[in-house]
Amino acid sequence: MNEPHPVPNGAFDDPGVFVPSRSENSPCSICKGSKMLCGKPRCPLMVKFYSRTRTQRFIDSLDLAGSSPPGVFIGRYGYPKVDIGPLVPPEYGDTAIMDTPEQWMGKSIEEITDFRFRLVRGKYRVDVKEFQLGGKIVDYTRELALAVNPLEVEMSFAKRPSGRIVLDDEIQPFGPSGRVMTMDIGNPKYDHKVEKAYNDTDLRAVEAVRDLYKNGVLISKIQKAFSVGAFGISKNRKLVPTRWSITAVDDMLGKTLLQRTKTNPTIDEFRVYDWTQLDNRWSVLFIPTSWRYELIEAWYPNTVWNPLGKQIDLISSHEFYEGRKDYAEIGGCYYAARLAVNELLTAERRQAGVVILREAHPGYIMPVGVWNVRENVRMALKQKPEKFNTLEQALAHVATRMDIPIPRWIKQSGVLTDFIRQRRIDDYA
């Protein structure tokens, strides 16, 4: 798995003190969040700082109590011995939205980071293969992952929660963390479908994931339960780091839908679905051909993963009808978007080639997780598509939406390049 990207231009250094970047080339010390010298419309450091400040005043002691959304996090560093534990805000009430990304569409970066950074992560070390022997803290963490409603949690820490605020394009962000000494939870209410899969120790994990998805359980809920070892044959159950579980579930479900997609007739026209959210522009191009798929991301200078660049940085991953055997270069976003695409093709009982074009502009000041790709592609595909008779017409429409010239998209694209080449060969057949 890819290592997490560094947080550009500053961080929250231990023990929880906010400091600007120490790079001599950084404009942060001159700007101080007021002149926007980085080119972003809002200072990402100040967004993090104010969210952190609102949380920090509630966690000045060794004890924390609040309503978990419910949320849990399984780390990956030191695998197979990792830190696990709950995500708990220092507040009571209906906190469900804090860990339900399916409800985040339409929210601003500030809103998302505000309620995510209020989540304090409890950490308890355990071996992923022997987690059943981990005691009450492990049991409570699993119960939280299976719970359907916000649940009261009380924790005591060895030291006051502190540390870096986690930002990563694969996982949802969260706030400071602390090593848990004791933990207690209220009475959980379970989703009976998830509970049934948990109790069936003869049901394979992949079958449990597929059945729950088919029965309408939210993907984020399935991912959490999968991460705490709730599914699978009894002797094979183990904890799965959150980062890996997100992509594993997206990949499983996407492959399941693809089995049907590849047997369906192809669409009859070129389509383009457009969408804009969080200063990300999306154009999803459907091509009347057998299954092939590609995600191309363009990161502008002063965006999350191109903070100091002078040029637009393009990255892509693709597959043809046979699929791919290696992990996508572009990461978990690839599998999240592939799932969203196949949801539509399955509903229509059709097959197509699909190229997703994404321009991430400077207003996308910090990463918020893979859900952002899955849910935005889902939203794009809920819009009424523009339909065309030729690829040229479809790409001419894309050109009105995107700033990057079409020839550069084609040059970056394995699917478009292959389709154009094959079409030209057919012209002379």
Question: Where along the chain do its domains lie?
Answer: 11-185, 196-253, 270-427
Residue scoring higher pLDDT (36 or 260): 260
Q: What is the mean pLDDT of the chain?
A: 86
User: Is the per-residue pLDDT at 165 higher than 60?
Assistant: no
Three-state DSSP at 208 gives helix
Helix residue ranges per DSSP H, 59-135: 109-117
> Looking at the whole model, is its pTM more than 0.75?
yes
Contact 69, 152 (CB under 8 A): no
Beta-carbon count within 10 A of 94 CB: 10
Question: How far apart (Å, rounded) are the C-alpha atoms in residues 10 and 159?
Answer: 24
User: What is the average per-residue pLDDT within 101-121?
Assistant: 89
Amino acid, res. 299: W
Residue 206 burial (CB < 10 Å; 0-12/13-18/19+)? middle
Residue scoring higher pLDDT (17 or 175): 175
Question: How far apart (Å, rounded) are the C-alpha atoms in residues 264 and 321?
Answer: 13
- Worst-scoring range by mean pLDDT, 22-26, 91-95, 142-146, 278-282? 22-26
Reading the block at residue 232, the tokens are 């699978």
Reading the block at residue 393, the tokens are 């017409």
User: Is the per-residue pLDDT at 393 higher than 70?
Assistant: yes
Question: How far apart (Å, rounded) are the C-alpha atoms in residues 288 and 419?
Answer: 10
In angstroms and rounded to an integer, the radius of gyration of the C-alpha atoms of the chain is: 22
User: What is the average per-residue pLDDT within 31-57?
Assistant: 54
- Worst-scoring range by mean pLDDT, 38-52, 73-87, 293-307? 38-52
List, in order, residues 6 or more apart from 8 with CB less than 8 Å away: 21, 304, 307, 308
User: What is the average per-residue pLDDT within 296-325?
Assistant: 89
Q: Where are the beta strands (DSSP E) in 3-97?
A: 11-13, 17-19, 63-68, 71-74, 81-88
Contact 119, 91 (CB under 8 A): no
* C-alpha triplet 381, 384, 388: angle, nearest 5°: 100
Predicted confidence (pLDDT) per residue in 399-426, tens digit: 999 999 999 999 999 999 999 998 766 5
Question: How far apart (Å, rounded) are the C-alpha atoms in residues 123 and 261?
Answer: 42
Q: Which residues pair with 282 in a beta bridge?
A: 275, 358
Q: Where are the beta strands (DSSP E) in 204-291?
A: 270-277, 280-287
User: Is the per-residue pLDDT at 381 higher than 80?
Assistant: yes
Beta-carbon count within 10 A of 202 CB: 7
